[in-house]
Amino acid sequence: MNIAITGGTGFLGSLLTEHLLSKGHYVYILTRNSEGRQNKDRLEHVEWLTENAHPEKELQNIDAFINLAGASINQRWTPSAKRKILQSRIEATQETYRIMKALDPTPSVLINASAVGYYGTSKTEVFTEENGPAEQNFLQKVCDRWEQEAIKAEDLGVRTVRARFGIILSTEEGALPRMMLPYKLFAGGPVGSGKQWFSWIHVKDVINMIEFALENNHASGPMNVTAPHPYRMKDFGKELGKVMNRPHWAPAPAFALKTALGEMSVLILEGQKVLPKQAEAWGYSFSYPELRPALEDIVGK
């Protein structure tokens, strides 16, 4: 397949690119700065979202688009940061739509990133792709707006999958390295109430689920990219401590995290229990459905 990826130079995009190249696909990475980016066999970098960029002229016979672009949410949510988080996702998705509309033939599939933040937060509800949000907060509104832009691709006849990512487990980036630090210092323990749900996913399953969605024509609509067995935060911490051979005892009070992180503390102090009902119904088989083996593979190396 000829696959165009936005956000392809980021953490997840880089891993996905390597995986797709290893499977023999051709990958075109859309980037704001293609200068200095080394093209190689079956990999090209294409300028986009700059004044003189016309990526549609450099993309030929594209079979699929994967849109991962957007400013990181792992920053203090100041008013300007919140605008950037939202606008970067809307801008990238609108430009993805414009490019696909300009291409002939039209790509057959779009995998558009989203997040389980779409569902809002809840300590009691269980969310599948059939559910709407439990409550509205900043992340829920961002995900909703993001997905509304992505859905427009269906008007072009493009099969569209909205990949709602859970907390991706990797020691390279994301939440896990921050969670590991206090355990390394023998100061790990419950975060906040510990009752909040933690809907996790091994990074290898993230890559494999995206590939699965690309290759299976019956995959369409929202897809929760989460493992089938979410954990409450206190239990996740216990498992992490066991794998790291560290105690789980020193609580991190909610007020301290709110003071340190501001509104972004919702990522840690609140959560949602999300199940991958649709992916399982489509026939996806998880490499790491259980938490302990996943942590052992990532942390225990």
pTM over 0.85, yes/no: yes
Domain boundaries, the chain: 2-299
* pLDDT, average across residues 204-226: 98
Q: For residue 42, what are its two tokens?
A: 């079956």
What's the mean pLDDT in 128-152? 93
The backbone region for 204, taken as left when phi is positive above 0, alpha when psi lies in -120 to 50, beta otherwise, is: alpha
- 184: burial class by Cβ within 10 Å (0-12, 13-18, 19+)? exposed
- Torsional class of 42: left (φ above 0), alpha (ψ -120 to 50), beta (otherwise): left
Model confidence over 90-99: pLDDT tens digits? 999 999 999 9
Select from 70, 71, 113, 74 the least CA-distant residue to 263. 74
The torsion angles phi and psi of 90, rounded to 5 degrees, stand at -65, -45
**pLDDT tens sequence across 9-66:** 999 999 999 999 999 999 999 998 777 677 888 999 999 999 889 999 999 899 999 9
Tell me: the pLDDT tens digits for 263-298?
778 878 889 999 999 999 999 999 999 999 999 999
Helix H or strand E encompassing 204: helix 203-215
Query: Residue 301: pLDDT band by 50, 70, 90 thresholds?
Result: low
CATH number for the domain whose boundaries are 2-299: 3.40.50.720
- What pLDDT is stored for residue 264 in this prediction? 77
Per residue, the 3-state secondary structure of 235-273, as one string, reads HHHHHHHHHHCCCCCCCECHHHHHHHHHHHHHHHHCCCE
